[in-house]
Homo-oligomer: A and B are copies of this chain.
Amino acid sequence: MQIYAEILTIGDEILYGQIQNTNTHYISQALSEIGVKVRHHTTVGDDEQAILTALKQAHDRADIILMTGGLGPTKDDITKKTLCKFWETDLIIHDEWLRKLEAFFTKRGRPMLESNIQQAAMPRTATLLDNRLGTAPGIWQDFQGKIYVSMPGVPHEMEVLMQEQVLTRLRAHFTLPYIVHKVIHTVAIGESFLAEKINDWEENLPAHIRLAYLPHNYQVRLRLTGIGNDRVQIEGDIAQEVEKVMPLIEKFVFGFDKITLEEAVGQLLMTENKTVSTAESCTGGYVAHSFTKVAGSSKYFKGGLVAYTQEIKTGVLGVETQTIDAHTAVSEQTAKEMAIQVRQKFNTDFGLATTGYAGPEGGTPEQPIGTVWIACASEKGVFAQNHVIPLDRMRHIYFATVLALDLLRKNIVGLE
């Protein structure tokens, strides 16, 4: 039996276009992955009547109503009172949560305000969902056969609640079909080129397996989704299709399922017991950040230099002034010297360098805005590549970082 969901967002700031409603997108994806069909998205303001009407309509057409927003310390009043009215219950202070809040504020040496105490108020008939990242808990309510979940609007708090509690509880409550996903992560190949390479394979996919292309930041995730009543069967069918497609795209694939490019590169470095350092110009620290956002990265990432001006490139990093004078700062030669120098200075196995014109100013007729040179130095020598990324400044930084990480990946596995 198909289970239907509706997503209800509460908040004037969304209606007035002050913030983008990313929560609804996230929840829609998460529900689709467990076989729940989302049929409606609604956003209303912090207004009792509007919330009540939306709840009533949602109640009539969905089995699951997931809500976000309206739970911050300055405004959770309306939302929680309105939910109580709709669920025909009242608010009580949740003792355990109150003690948790008290501990939270004591630990920070901060006074607890009346608005903070109210965050422990819960509808009497509801179940509290622990929010380990914030002060507003989640609310789970079974009302007249429909499941309601209210979550705080702060995206990462909502995401952790969804992943750790809401999805598991929904799976336990409803009988859902088996949906099996397999994600293949590719990098440094555009969507249409990828589609061309795997066209024949794609056309011969069995009917119960669907393919989606999910492009982001010069990476395309290929998501295979199988649906059916026999989990083992679907998993086997998907594994078989992965085996068929891999030879066509192997060199672009850096991993499967939940992994990021920086995690994949980090794992390769750990496996090979190698270290890396970075020398960045146009990416301005973003390559170093990409390494260090991964927990445990100090095992392989020793550090880096952001050499944003010529003075730092020569004076601190040690690039020869005549190299820059002869070839400019955005050149194969400068990139290579940056990689060699940082590898030496930081005493690492790999040295990774970027130099380019991120824009909106800079560039030359030969090396227009968007040009980036990346280089990777190792005991085998130094390799450089150039690319033109004629996009805005932020995407230049992100794409150049992805290309740098991919160059390192190819160097480690011997593809370059």
Please report A residues at the B interface, Cβ cutoff 8 Å: 9, 12-22, 24-32, 38-45, 50, 57, 72-74, 107-108, 110, 113, 115-116, 133, 156, 191-193, 195-196, 212-215, 223, 225, 278, 280, 283-289, 291-293, 295-298, 301-309, 311-312, 315-316, 345-347, 358-361, 388, 390-395, 397
Contact = CB atoms under 8 A, between A and B. Distances in A.
A192 B392 contact: no
Contacts of A306: 278, 285, 288, 292, 303-306
A286 B298 CA distance: 15
B108 A388 contact: yes
Contacts of A39: 15, 44-45, 50
Number of copies of this protein chain within its complex: 2
A17 B21 CA distance: 12
Contacts of A347: 311, 315
B308 A298 contact: yes
Contacts of A22: 20
Contact of A43 (B40, B72, B193): B40
A393 to B, nearest CB: 6
Given A29-B17, A41-B21, A42-B40, A191 B72 contact: yes
A179 B193 CA distance: 46
A15 B44 contact: no
A15 B6 CA distance: 9
A196 B113 contact: yes
